[in-house]
Amino acid sequence: MFNLILNKYQYLFAVVPFVGIVVFGYFIDIFPKGSIVYQFIDKALNLIAEKNLDELLKKNGFSKTSVFAYQLLRIIFGIIGIFAGIVLIDDAPAKKIVICIIIGIVFYKIIYIFLLLKEKNRIAIMKEKLPYAIKTISYLAYVYPISNAIERAIDIVPKEYKYDLEILYKEISDDPITKKPYINFVNRYNGKLKELEPCLDLLYRMGQSGGSKAKTLLANLNETISDDINRVRAEKNRKFNSKVGWLGFIPVAFLVIVLIYLLLVMTTSVSFVD
Amino acid sequence: MINEIVLISSIIIFILVFVLLNLGFGRGKKRKVPNIKKRKSLYRTLDVKTVIYLILAASAVTFFINTISYSAITTSMVFLCAIGLAPFVLSNNLKRMHQEDVFQDVMLYCQNMGMLLKQYHNVFMSLNIVRGDLKTELKTDIESLMKIINDGEEIDNVKVAMSILEDNYEYTCIKNLDLIMLHMLFENAKIDDVLLETFENDVEELSKDVKANKSARSAMRIQYIGISVGCILIYKFFLGTMDSQLTANLNTITFNVVNSVFIFGVLLSLFFIDRYFNAHITKE
C-alpha cells in the first residue's frame, strides 16, 4: 500500500523534500545563533545554503543576475535532475525517491561549484597580475607621491584591480595618515591574496616617510616585485610547457590503443578471418 | 602491384626534387616589408623554393609511412594529407619566427631607450636614435609616435598613440617605458637614474626568461618528433614479428582500418600539435 502511494506520487515525494531542503537552509536565522539547532543546521546544511552567493555573482560577471533568479534557476535544474532520475532509475519506490532527491541536490550544487571554480580562476588571475599592478605603482612612485601614484595607476593597472584601487585612492584622500585604507584593500580579498599585505605595508610606510628612507623602501619594493614577476612568468611558462609536453604523448596513446586491440584480437578465441 | 608503383613514384619525386633544388631551379621572391594592417599574417610569401621543400618533406614522410602501410590507398592519402598540411605547419613556423623578430625588436627598443634616456634625458632624440636599429613593424609604429610628439600634440593624443603601441605589443616594459616618456615629455622633470636602471633590469630579466623558454620548447619539439618516429618504428617491428598471427586472425579490411587509424592518428596529431610548440614562446 505504502509502495503504491509512493509509486503514484513519486514526483511529489521527490520534489517537495528537495525544495524544502534547499529553501530551508536560508531560514536558518530564525533560530537563535548559539543554539544547538542553529549549529546543526549551519553545519549540515552549510553545503546547501551558501552564504557568499551575492558576492560570487557580482565578482564573476553575473552582477545583472539577481540572487533570486539564480536560485530559481538552480532549483529548476535540480527538479529536472529529479525527473530524469525518476524516469531512468528502476528500483523500489522509496529507494528511488531518496536517490532522486540526492540527484536533485547534486544538480542544484553543480552550478554553484562552477561558480566557485570561476571564482578560483579569477583569484588565480589576480595573483598572477598582482606583481604587475604593484610594479606600475612603484614606477609611478619614483616620480610622484604615493597617493598621486595610486591615482595615476588606476588607468594603467590590470582591469581586475581598477575598482579596488579607486576605492583605495578615495580612502587615502579622506584619511591619509592611518593605515586603514591599506588594511581595507587587503581585506576585500578575504585573505586570498596574502602577497598583497607586505607590498601595501611598504607603500604605506613610503607614504609616511620621505627622502632617502622612502627611496630605500622603494628599492626594496622593486626588488621584491621583480622576483615575484619572474616567479609568475616562470610558473606560467611551466604550466604551458607541461600541457604541451602531455600533448606530445598522443602518438604513444595511439600506439598503445592499436597494439592492445591487435593483441586482444590475436589472443581471443573469436576469429575474424573471412 | 599498385603499392610498389606508389613507392617507386615517391622515390622518383624525392630524387627529382633533390636534383632540381641543386640545379637552383627555384629562386625565392624578395622578402616583403611587413604591412601594418597585416601585422598578424605571414610576412614571407610562399615562393617556388619553399613549395619544392614542402613536396620533398611530404615525399619523405610518405616513403617512411609506406613501410608500414599495406594499402596503396592509405599511402596515397598520406601523401595528399602531408602535402595539404605542410603549408599549415610552415605558416605556424613562420608566424613564430615573425613573433620572435618582433620580440627582439621590442627588447632592443626598450633596452636602448633605457640607456639613451639616461644619457640624453630627451625622449624625441632617443626615439630617433633607436628607430634606426628596428626592423619589424615596430619601426613604423615608433615613427608614428615620433610624428605626434614632434607636432606638439596634447597629452591625450600622445596617450592614445601610446595605448595603440601597448595594444599591439603586449609587454609590461612597453607600458612602463610609456609612463617614463609621458612624465619626461609633459612634466618636464628629470627621471631618476635608479628608475631607468630598474627598467633596464626588468627588460633583461624578461629577455632571459623568453630565451630559456624558447630553448626548452625547441627541445620538447625535437623530443616529440623523436617519440612519434619511435612509435612508428615500434609499430613496424610489431607488424613484422606478428605478421603470420595477424594474417591468421584478422581480415584485410579490419587490418587496413586499424593500420589507417594508427597512421593518420600519428600523422595528423604531428601536424596539429606542432602549432602548440610554436605558441606562447615570446608572450610575457
Per-residue pLDDT of chain B (284 residues; tens, 9 = 90+): 555 665 566 556 655 555 554 444 333 333 333 343 444 444 455 667 777 777 777 787 777 777 777 777 778 888 887 777 777 777 788 888 888 999 999 999 999 999 999 898 889 999 999 999 898 889 999 999 999 888 887 888 888 888 888 888 889 899 999 989 988 888 776 777 888 888 999 999 999 999 999 998 888 888 888 888 898 888 888 888 887 877 777 777 778 788 888 888 887 787 778 778 887 888 88
Nearest to A255 among B183, B235, B280 (CB): B235
Query: B19 vs B52, B54, B87, CA distance in Å?
Result: 11, 15, 22
Give the pLDDT of residue B4: 60
HEC string for B45-85:
CCCHHHHHHHHHHHHHHHHHHCCCCCCHHHHHHHHHHHHHH
Give the pLDDT of residue B39: 42
- Write out chain A residues lying below 8 Å of B216, CB-based: 237, 241
Q: Which of B117, B235, B270 to mutate to test the interface with A (most CBs of A within 10 A)?
A: B235
Smallest CA–CA distance from A138 into chain B, residue? B195
pLDDT surpassing 70 at residue A12: yes
Query: B17 vs A199, A253, B6, B49, B188, CA distance in Å?
Result: 63, 34, 16, 10, 64
Give the pLDDT of residue B40: 43
Q: Using CB atoms within 10 Å of the CB of residue B189, give its burial: 0 to 12 exposed, 13 to 18 middle, 19+ buried.
A: exposed
Dihedral angle sign, alpha carbons of residues B129, B130, B135, B139: negative
Q: Which of B188, B197, B198, B268 to mutate to test the interface with A (most CBs of A within 10 A)?
A: B198
Nearest to A230 among B176, B209, B220 (CB): B209
Give the pLDDT of residue B5: 60
- Write out chain B residues lying below 8 Å of A215, CB-based: 194
Note whether B276 and A244 are within 8 A (CB): yes
Does the model's pTM come out above 0.80? no
Least confident of A167-181, A228-242, B16-30: B16-30
- Write out chain B residues lying below 8 Å of A246, CB-based: none
**Joined grid coordinates for residue A173:** 584622500
Grid coordinates 612597453 are at which residue?
B174
- Write out chain B residues lying below 8 Å of A145, CB-based: none
State the average pLDDT for chain A. Answer: 81
A272·B249 Cβ contact <8 A: yes
Note whether B164 and B180 are within 8 A (CB): no
Give the pLDDT of residue B174: 92
Min Cα–Cα distance to chain B from A159, Å: 14
User: Given pLDDT bands bounded at 50, 70 and 90, which one contains residue A76?
Assistant: confident
Q: Which residue has the higher pLDDT, A38 or B220?
A: B220
Cα B193 to Cα B119: distance, rounded to the nearest angstrom: 9
